Structure 1
Amino acid sequence: MNDTLNAAWLWLRAFFVNEGQRIRRHPFITAAMAPVFALMYLLVLIPLTPSIDHIKKVRTSAPTVVMSSDGQVLAEFKRVNRESVKLDAISPNVTAALLATEDHRFFEHHGMDLRRTFSALVRTLRGDTQGGSTITQQLARNMFPEEIGRAQTINRKLKEAITAAKIEWVYSKNDILEMYLNTVPFLYNAHGIEMAAQTYFDKSASELDLLESATLIGMLKGTSYYNPVINPERSVIRRNTVLAQLVKYDKLKQADYDILKAKPLGLDFERKEEDLGSAPHVASQLKRWLISWADRKGYNIYGDGLVIQTTIDSRLQNFAVEALQRQADKLQTIADGAWGKRMGANKALLQTFIRESTQYRAARETGMAEAEALAKVQEDTTFIQALWNDKTTLQASFLAMDPFDGQVRAWVGSRDFKQDQFDHVQQARRQPGSTFKPFVYGAAFEQGISPMQTFVDSQMEIRIDAKTVWKPGDVHETTGEPTTLRDALVHSKNTVTAQLMMQVGPARVAKVAYDMGVRTSKLDAVPSLALGTSPVTLKEMVSAYGTIANNGTYVEPILVLRIEDRNHAVIEEFHQKPNEQGLQTAAAQTLLDVMRGVIDKGTGAGIRSRFGLQGDLAGKTGTTQDNTDGWFILMHPRLVSGSWVGFNDNRITMGDAWGQGARNALNIVGDFMQLSVKAKVVDPKALFAAPKQVDSMDKVNDWINSVFNSQPVEQQEQPMAATTASSGSPQIITIYQSGPTATPAPMVQDFQQPVQGQVQGQVQGQVQEYVRAPEYVRPTESMRAPEYIRPPQVIRVPEYVRPPQVVNTQPSSPPIITYGLAPSAPFYSGPGNITTVPVLPPSRDNEQ
């Protein structure tokens, strides 16, 4: 239609030029025909301009708002970076400058200034495209750029005039001024006077003085040409022109003008980026999805004021962002120390990065040889340093969800959305390492295998085919001893997990992982899958661990609950697919109970020791080959949270000291949970439905944890015959008599100095019970050994206080024993006969 109108206009113009002589000979015919032509043309244009209803809706246009589950705004979807303000919140200096410069008869006309319009029409016919638009016409162009267009043609000017008349019909003059000042662009993604004031002068529009107002209004003639940042001289000239207009229309005294025109611009420029909110990756994902939804439903996400109700908890989201940034910054400091000085030492790797760059490819496309192009790019040391810095920038992600309803509570896709918009929660697929092991054990428990079943922890070879042999190993040496499945998962034993994988079957493990939540990533059903060699997403892993926490029931993660209109009437609600049984309930509860041990005494113990988190918790750490990826996922009865840490380019790896999941990703989750518990958003007293299946060794470890994390235990009365230290000495009690049940254990209250105590009582034969020796604590703290272990069990524990010297071992007389700090733990085979057991090294995250 526009092409037709343009053709008609060109024909009409040519007609007047070619027939000019004849028309001039018949002035009365010309006068009679001109209004007819004009009226017909206007009648054709009117339907092509915005309707009255459309114009009314623009005033109430509102962006889509993304809301958190606790009623906070997470993001807004706006077409431009604009902050609308009321007219009475705009400085009168602005409106005075605007009217004096752009439209001094604004309050006298009805959208068109006939004198200016006629003058502009004549100039257009002559080929001069200078404008003569009123403020209302400019508003029409700003509000309806697609309908009116930007081309300097008579069509556009007529459509402007028609639309302006409609605007004047619908709105008051003050409304028009307000809308105009809120829509006019000022460069640097600043739309409207409020954003312009913040961008150029770092203040609100209500605070603009006369000089600042004149500077901004002066830009409207040509924002780029009169840009005060790039072209300050032009801007000063244009500003002074605006001031002169104020003098012309008696809004400014000549004397004041003479003073003001000599003053500098006084800019305080800072580009204002659009507020991305606390969950930018969530907002970005939702925006892409919402555009498609709105197209199908007939909505405009930028103007219809839609309200998106999400499952995100703004408090947890803020804690997640804070924890991830704090811990990732610490890790980046380590990474900078490890990689920052190694650019020269990694010449081959650096040259590989250069060959992959656009600069290198551009050089090669010019015909340069490989060596020449490489040397050319390397001459730009600034680019080389930036390339290296980009490659060695550590990334991290975090996700938390409710395992029972699948509602996502916090989502952080990268360290900084502005720097890296790639979403490492849902888009990135990385090897999960040992965080995949629970699927192997879950499949085994589902087949009836007991967590107390033992496998020998030793090096092994698994033949994959006639030519391939897989040799799974651990970071630390194997013990060569039988190890229960419970301990193997707690301490992340690769060799035992590989044996279990072969017993259960890779295909079965892959199926269990899918059922539990790993549903979008392809899993290779091969033996090495047991150690997490198939890449997956963090979202899948957290979802699958949610199945464990939810007694084996898989619940699909959900982010959007409903979409409402601006009046909060529900347009559409969203529900997950029906829940599925991803793992048998008994197997899931057994698996969760075993994974409690990871937090209590295994590779995830840092959650308690470093962050002081108590309560019913379970989880798993994960580390991949060469410390490429670090993982940690923690299960709380009402929240499953997980984190991944690594580099975007997996050729850059982390060091042994900080590259394990227990030393990087765990810190992010621990920091997050610590903040959440402290703020009372997460209940530390919540309990899983899965019962605790505690054996005797677990009781000992629980007791040790209670010693280190609680007040000293007071001494209790002993029911058995015992020995008492002499008066004034710390009390030392030694039990010699065996019994069918555990006997209250000895208590030592001070280890600063070796003490002597005379044992009272007669030795009754050989000792039949061996004392389980817990770790000693700091001097003056009390502790109590929880039970006696029977003779067949050999106990290996850290340092312990033992009798290093038996002074008197005559059976007929009481022995005198000196107690002191010893480097190793004893086990007793009889009075006076002490056998030393070597101390085992402390357990570490031994994942590959």
Structure 2
Amino acid sequence: MKHADVSVVRDLFARSIARIKPYAARALTRLRHPTRRDFAWTAAAVPALVLLYVLILIPFTPGIGDLRKAKVEQPAQILSADGKLLAEFKPTNREWVKLADVSPHVVDALVATEDHRFYQHHGLDFRRTASAALHTFSGNRQGGSTITQQLARNLYPDDIGRSQTITRKVKEAITAFKIEAVYTKEEILETYLNTVPFLYNAYGIEMAARTYFDKSAGKLDVTESATLIGMLKGNSYYNPVINPERALQRRNIVLAQMVKFGHLAPSAYESLKRRPLRVDFERQLEAPGRAPHFAQQLRKWLIAWADDNDYNIYSDGLVVRTTIDSRLQAMATQAVVWQGNQLQSIANAAWGAHAGCNAGNADLVHAFVRETPEYRAARDMGLTDDDAMKRFASDRGFMRTLCENKTRMQAGFLALDPRNGQIRAWVGSRDFSQDPFDHVSQARRQPGSTFKPFVYGAAFAQGSKPEDTLIDQAVEIPLAGGEIWRPTDDAPPSGRPVTLRDGIAYSKNRITAQLMQNVGPAKVARLARGMGVRDSRLDVVPSLALGTSPVTLKEMVAAYGTIANGGGRIDPVLVTRIEDRKGEVLAQFEPAKPEQVLSAEAAQELLDVMRDVINRGTGTSIRSRFGIRGDVAGKTGTTQDNADGWFILMHPQLVAGAWVGFNDSRVTLRSDYWGQGAHSALPIVGDFFQRSLRSRLIDQRVRFVKEEPHGTFGAWIADARAWFDKLFPAKPAPPVPQAKARPPVRHAPVVQQEAPEAPSEAPELPPIIPSMPEVTEPAETSIKSPASAPETP
């Protein structure tokens, strides 16, 4: 800046100061000698400024609409395709109870202790607030919040905040006035008692009563009511479970307050204050529902949808119509539990689980111990490995628990409709409360021979035919790094030609490996991804033919659904539509158009050879044991050392698959018989299909396509089947209730979890005693994938 410019600015500043000086002098004089008018203006300005401050904060507090919405808060309801309640998405473990169903002792204790002028004020008790302020200024800090103010904090913690500032207190007071305008006093008490937290994930007086006294809120006596209300001053500090002495003292203070304000006679107080707490503690867990793993996956999807469409799944009363059939879901759950229990007894005997794995492999058991946090803590304390191992080996309780956890049998099951991709049943584990880890969509395991259809499908797409042959001979395939892959079968090479039809029916590893060489791993991996294995990583190596790349059960069942749908892929569908609480449709999800990833001719050839797996190959017990006579095709799978057992069955209306194994793939059933997919996973699918066919939820007469008769005998069989179907027609499946015919959702009753009984005509399933020779499936591969490490749920 030039010197002239600086001079101009200095002159302007000096003139401005000169103009201001007279006004400043007059203002200073009036401050020193104020007039009556000045006093009046000052007195009026203070409340005006306070009022202005309040008016500025009003838009930053919850509106009347938000208050009314909180009053009728409704969690999302998840319904099955046949109208049964599968789950409710609640933000907390809370069960709402009406004030009339709460013990009056609770209300008396609450009002006497927290807000004895509750029925006289309109949200803010000015007398109590002033008293609390005086005590606080004198150094004895006291709370002056009314029950309504506390409710405002509980309902809207984000809008009001928790900081100890004037702004927070003003916003809290404004919200309390609004609540009093919307709610009656009884509704305020009901809402408060149903939203206050009581530790251990118990929200509301009903869950608190169950948690601490094993009774409902309506049956609480005076001392129990005083104990719970006493916790409101400090849940952890006055926790009756871990701090019983403090809780007892606080309970007696509450009882004294009840005497002070006329809710309890003094004579009763003298006897009640000497009573012990008598806590009957038990954590309250949410009911898992009919399809807990499915609901868990659906919650993630629904939260994303709600965020994109400005809805709240916990309060907006959404009604989600899913594809799950509650009847098929119950059958699937029963099949998984039944077979899982059978296999668990075998695993216990093989590993000596109840005795701490005494019958197990010592090196592996030692590895289990070294992986525990207890072992690491012992080493951190300075113990040597030998000393630590001796300590834990002598601890029978520790070893028994460790072994039982490691050898707990697990299973996963999924069924979907191949015509539209709609998922009909989803069971993620034997028991959700014990193992919430989902073995359908989260667990990635080697699929073994269930991966072979992708090799044969790729070959048929290139022009190969089911009657083409390959020589059953020793196979050596060089791998990167100088290794040699030598796939083997249970029997030595015969040197004879084997058709591709027999290769898949009898699950021949050497035949499949040669076919993989002819097709190429890249084409097989590309087809598998196109058919449905879209999320898991597939290693493009020759051993992929025998299922060495870990995948999920959901991916495999979806891919088999593509085969059953004539080569047209439809991604799995969870939801058909979403409605609001009034029944208005918010979103409709129509079946997607199939994407043809495998030609119809190749898909039909693949399906036809997979029929032979059931008719005369490794899956014959579907016919011999479970009596399933419909048009079905499928494939068994067993991985190395019998770590994983698989079976997937295809029907024109339903494709179902099961996986069986342990969370830690180093643990196996240690049985060449029970470890095979044909004996571990197949019974789950067989039991499920047997029940669903007998219940007529799927039609046994439906066929994939009409097959051309082979020769005179084949034509005779076809004519006989047609005559039999005409003479004894099957009864149609019962209709599924339409959603529009249901009453309004907000009045829909909660259906208790109750699995339907098995059909009365279904006999008790016998142990596996095959009525025809069964084909033994060979081990899938001699190359272990890096994914064979323990899986972390």
TM-score range, shorter chain: 0.7 to 0.9
Q: Pick from 78, 85, 96: which aligns with 1:66?
A: 78
1:647 matched residue in structure 2: 662
Q: Does the CA-based 8 Å contact 1:551-1:690 persist in structure 2? A: no
Q: Secondary structure at the match of 1:220?
A: helix
1:659 matched residue in structure 2: 675
Paired residues for 1:212-251 under 5 Å: 212-251=224-263
Deviation, 1:650, is 1.9
1:731 matched residue in structure 2: none
Mark the runs of 5 or more structure 2 residues left unpaired by the alignment: 1-31, 722-769, 781-793
- Going from structure 1 to structure 2, the CA distance change for 1:697 and 1:506 (only over 3 Å counts) comes to farther
Return the alpha-carbon distance in structure 2 between the equivalents of residues 684 and 194 of structure 1.
Answer: 49
Deviation, 1:551, is 1.7
- Going from structure 1 to structure 2, the CA distance change for 1:170 and 1:465 (only over 3 Å counts) comes to closer
Q: Pick from 617, 620, 630: which aligns with 1:615?
A: 630
Deviation, 1:666, is 0.9
1:19 matched residue in structure 2: none
Could you say which structure has the larger radius of gyration? 1
Q: TM-score by structure 2 length?
A: 0.79
2:776 matched residue in structure 1: 844
Residue 319 of structure 1 pairs with residue 326 of structure 2: no
Q: Pick from 598, 601, 604: which aligns with 2:616?
A: 601
Q: Does the CA-based 8 Å contact 1:551-1:689 persist in structure 2? A: no
Q: Pick from 573, 589, 595: which aligns with 1:580?
A: 595
1:441 matched residue in structure 2: 456
Please give the per-residue CA displacement for 1:738-773, whole angstroms capped at 9, x wherever unaligned: xxxxxxxxxxxxxxxxxxxxxxxxxxxxxxxxxxxx
Deviation, 1:523, is 2.7
Q: What is the identity, as a one-letter code, of the residue corresponding to 1:238?
A: R
Q: What is the identity, as a one-letter code, of the residue corresponding to 2:687?
A: D
Q: Does the CA-based 8 Å contact 1:129-1:152 persist in structure 2? A: no
Return the alpha-carbon distance in structure 2 between the equivalents of residues 693 and 129 of structure 1.
Answer: 93
Deviation, 1:70, is 1.9
Q: Pick from 75, 90, 95: which aligns with 1:78?
A: 90
Please give the per-residue CA displacement for 1:467-490, whole angstroms capped at 9, x wherever unaligned: 444322112445554433323322
Q: Which has the higher helix share?
A: 2
Please give the per-residue CA displacement for 1:771-820, whole angstroms capped at 9, x wherever unaligned: xxxxxxxxxxxxxxxxxxxxxxxxxxx99xxxxxxxxxxxxxxxxxxxxx
Q: What is the identity, as a one-letter code, of the residue corresponding to 2:332?
A: A
Q: Pick from 302, 312, 315: which aligns with 1:303?
A: 315
Q: Which has the higher strand share?
A: 1
1:730 matched residue in structure 2: none
Q: Does the CA-based 8 Å contact 1:65-1:76 persist in structure 2? A: yes
Deviation, 1:134, is 1.6
Q: Does the CA-based 8 Å contact 1:589-1:690 persist in structure 2? A: no
- Going from structure 1 to structure 2, the CA distance change for 1:369 and 1:214 (only over 3 Å counts) comes to closer
Q: Does the CA-based 8 Å contact 1:111-1:167 persist in structure 2? A: yes
Q: What is the identity, as a one-letter code, of the residue corresponding to 2:431?
A: D
Return the alpha-carbon distance in structure 2 between the equivalents of residues 300 and 589 of structure 1.
Answer: 46
Deviation, 1:54, is 2.4
Q: Secondary structure at the match of 2:635?
A: strand
Q: Does the CA-based 8 Å contact 1:590-1:690 persist in structure 2? A: no
Q: Secondary structure at the match of 1:424?
A: coil
Residue 532 of structure 1 pairs with residue 547 of structure 2: yes
Return the alpha-carbon distance in structure 1 between the equivalents of residues 712 and 382 of structure 2.
Answer: 75
Return the alpha-carbon distance in structure 1 between the equivalents of residues 660 and 717 of structure 2.
Answer: 30
Q: What is the identity, as a one-letter code, of the residue corresponding to 2:778?
A: N
Q: What is the identity, as a one-letter code, of the residue corresponding to 1:50?
A: P
1:688 matched residue in structure 2: 704
Compute the RMSD of aligned alpha carbons.
3.5
Q: Does the CA-based 8 Å contact 2:346-2:669 persist in structure 1? A: no
Return the alpha-carbon distance in structure 2 between the equivalents of residues 481 and 316 of structure 1.
Answer: 45
Q: Pick from 373, 389, 395: which aligns with 2:404?
A: 389
Q: Secondary structure at the match of 2:91?
A: coil
Please give the per-residue CA displacement for 1:590-646, whole angstroms capped at 9, x wherever unaligned: 222222222233211222333333322211100011111110001122110101112
1:352 matched residue in structure 2: 367
Q: Does the CA-based 8 Å contact 1:593-1:693 persist in structure 2? A: no
Deviation, 1:332, is 1.9
- Going from structure 1 to structure 2, the CA distance change for 1:214 and 1:674 (only over 3 Å counts) comes to farther
1:427 matched residue in structure 2: 442
Deviation, 1:408, is 1.1
Residue 272 of structure 1 pairs with residue 284 of structure 2: yes
- Going from structure 1 to structure 2, the CA distance change for 1:689 and 1:345 (only over 3 Å counts) comes to closer
Paired residues for 1:286-685 under 5 Å: 286-339=298-351, 340=353, 342=357, 346-360=361-375, 383=398, 385-463=400-478, 467-574=482-589, 578-655=593-670, 656-685=672-701
Deviation, 1:701, is 12
1:281 matched residue in structure 2: 293
Q: What is the identity, as a one-letter code, of the residue corresponding to 1:449?
A: S
1:749 matched residue in structure 2: none
Q: Pick from 203, 206, 228: which aligns with 2:215?
A: 203
Return the alpha-carbon distance in structure 1 between the equivalents of residues 239 and 327 of structure 2.
Answer: 41
Return the alpha-carbon distance in structure 2 between the equivalents of residues 566 and 104 of structure 1.
Answer: 38
- Going from structure 1 to structure 2, the CA distance change for 1:684 and 1:205 (only over 3 Å counts) comes to farther
Q: Does the CA-based 8 Å contact 1:491-1:846 persist in structure 2? A: no
Q: Does the CA-based 8 Å contact 1:593-1:690 persist in structure 2? A: no
Structure with the greater relative contact order (CA < 8 A, sep ≥ 6): 1 or 2? 2
Identity of aligned residues (%): 59
Return the alpha-carbon distance in structure 2 between the equivalents of residues 129 and 698 of structure 1.
Answer: 95
- Going from structure 1 to structure 2, the CA distance change for 1:59 and 1:323 (only over 3 Å counts) comes to same
- Going from structure 1 to structure 2, the CA distance change for 1:651 and 1:847 (only over 3 Å counts) comes to closer
- Going from structure 1 to structure 2, the CA distance change for 1:124 and 1:255 (only over 3 Å counts) comes to closer
- Going from structure 1 to structure 2, the CA distance change for 1:555 and 1:45 (only over 3 Å counts) comes to closer
Deviation, 1:539, is 1.2
Q: Secondary structure at the match of 2:424?
A: strand
2:67 matched residue in structure 1: 55
Return the alpha-carbon distance in structure 2 between the equivalents of residues 494 and 693 of structure 1.
Answer: 31
Q: Secondary structure at the match of 1:312?
A: coil
Return the alpha-carbon distance in structure 2 between the equivalents of residues 353 and 185 of structure 1.
Answer: 39
Deviation, 1:360, is 5.0
Q: What is the identity, as a one-letter code, of the residue corresponding to 2:224?
A: E
Q: TM-score by structure 1 length?
A: 0.74
Q: Does the CA-based 8 Å contact 2:318-2:579 persist in structure 1? A: yes
Deviation, 1:524, is 3.1
Paired residues for 1:744-823 under 5 Å: none
Q: What is the identity, as a one-letter code, of the residue corresponding to 2:80?
A: S
Q: What is the identity, as a one-letter code, of the residue corresponding to 1:145?
A: P
- Going from structure 1 to structure 2, the CA distance change for 1:56 and 1:843 (only over 3 Å counts) comes to closer
Deviation, 1:401, is 0.6
- Going from structure 1 to structure 2, the CA distance change for 1:676 and 1:199 (only over 3 Å counts) comes to farther
Return the alpha-carbon distance in structure 2 between the equivalents of residues 427 and 466 of structure 1.
Answer: 32
Q: Secondary structure at the match of 1:640?
A: strand
Q: Secondary structure at the match of 2:233?
A: coil
- Going from structure 1 to structure 2, the CA distance change for 1:128 and 1:588 (only over 3 Å counts) comes to same
Please give the per-residue CA displacement for 1:534-566, whole angstroms capped at 9, x wherever unaligned: 222211111111112112221111112333333
Deviation, 1:461, is 3.5
Return the alpha-carbon distance in structure 2 between the equivalents of residues 107 and 304 of structure 1.
Answer: 31
Which range moved further: 627-636 or 380-389?
Answer: 380-389
Q: What is the identity, as a one-letter code, of the residue corresponding to 2:556?
A: M
- Going from structure 1 to structure 2, the CA distance change for 1:124 and 1:673 (only over 3 Å counts) comes to farther
Q: Does the CA-based 8 Å contact 1:622-1:847 persist in structure 2? A: no
Return the alpha-carbon distance in structure 2 between the equivalents of residues 427 and 384 of structure 1.
Answer: 28
Number of matched residues? 689
- Going from structure 1 to structure 2, the CA distance change for 1:577 and 1:90 (only over 3 Å counts) comes to same
- Going from structure 1 to structure 2, the CA distance change for 1:454 and 1:33 (only over 3 Å counts) comes to closer
Q: Pick from 164, 169, 178: which aligns with 1:157?
A: 169
Q: Does the CA-based 8 Å contact 1:493-1:847 persist in structure 2? A: no
Deviation, 1:172, is 1.2
Which range moved further: 429-438 or 245-254?
Answer: 245-254
Return the alpha-carbon distance in structure 1 between the equivalents of residues 198 and 480 of structure 2.
Answer: 68
Q: What is the identity, as a one-letter code, of the residue corresponding to 2:682?
A: L
1:806 matched residue in structure 2: none
Deviation, 1:44, is 4.9
- Going from structure 1 to structure 2, the CA distance change for 1:603 and 1:40 (only over 3 Å counts) comes to same
